[in-house]
Amino acid sequence: MKRNIRLNTLTFLVIILSLSSCVTNRNLEYVSTDNNTQSVKSTPFNYIIQKEDLLSVQISSTTKSDYDFFNLKESSNPQLMSLNPYFYGYLVKQDGIINLPMIGNVKVEGFTINEVERVIEQISSTYFKDPIVKVNIINFKVSILGEVNNPGEYNIVRSNQNLLHLIGKANDLTEFANRRKIKVIRNNGEYSSKIIYLNLTDPLVLNDKNFYLHPQDIVYVEPMKKKFYSVKSLSNAVSVSISAITLYLLINN
């Protein structure tokens, strides 16, 4: 009878120890490759302006007095602009057009930021001498939730930032994050969204256009399925093992 109890107890402890698996370095890798010198070529990305984007447009030329009035609204109170950007920026309307002072309506939807800058430069050359145009997206904010160290909403300054840049802003993923299935919820037009899954361990993710961020993206990092029984380090695994052995000895004594 005692022998059967001991065997059953030992079997139970072996099962517990097998479930208490460590999170290995393989689980924590990004863009994993077999060779240390393997190169991965990424595809250049240019953000395409969409409806509801909020643009900052600044014009400068060789004669400061000619263009001062155009930038006065944006430079008058930068702190107020950060609190209420919709009061200072130019919203891309449903017809894909922004309305600029003196210049008038400009079609921007479907074009890259560089293309829009060149178009505005051509139009403004009628009014300013050798104009230089700078366009930025003001409302480029994204959110990251789930298994990250600092979840929250982040402002993106450059329009060619990818998912790894956002993870860096969020102080990296936790040990229990499922790097093979990152969920991105993205606006897919008026009143609709699409869900995208990305595998951050796959080198080919660098060539995926969905790897780059869009305004109002919501990134959710789900936990690994084995999180509830995993241990973070070898010391934790040893601690679990000692506790299990102690329990076994107590039962048998």
pLDDT over threshold 70, residue 247: no
In a domain, 41, yes or no: no
31 and 146 both lie in a single domain: yes
CB 138 within 8 A of CB 159: no
pLDDT over threshold 80, residue 228: no
CATH code, domain with 217: 3.10.560.10
pLDDT over threshold 80, residue 157: yes
pTM exceeds 0.85: no
Q: Give 215 or 73, the one with higher predicted confidence.
A: 215
Whole-angstrom Cα distance, residue 129 to residue 58? 15
145 and 117 both lie in a single domain: no
Q: Give 32 or 240, the one with higher predicted confidence.
A: 32
- Kindly report, residue by residue over 124-153, the tens digit of the pLDDT: 888 888 888 999 998 899 999 999 999 999
Closest by CA position to 90, among listed 120, 46, 52: 52
Say which DSSP state 149 is in: S
Task: For the sheet with 193-198, list strands across it.
Answer: 152-155, 141-146, 218-223, 177-187, 193-198
The total number of structural domains that make up the chain: 3
144 and 224 both lie in a single domain: yes
In a domain, 49, yes or no: no
Domain that holds residue 213: 26-36+140-228
Among the ranges given (9-13, 41-45, 170-174), the one the predictor scored with the smallest mean pLDDT: 9-13
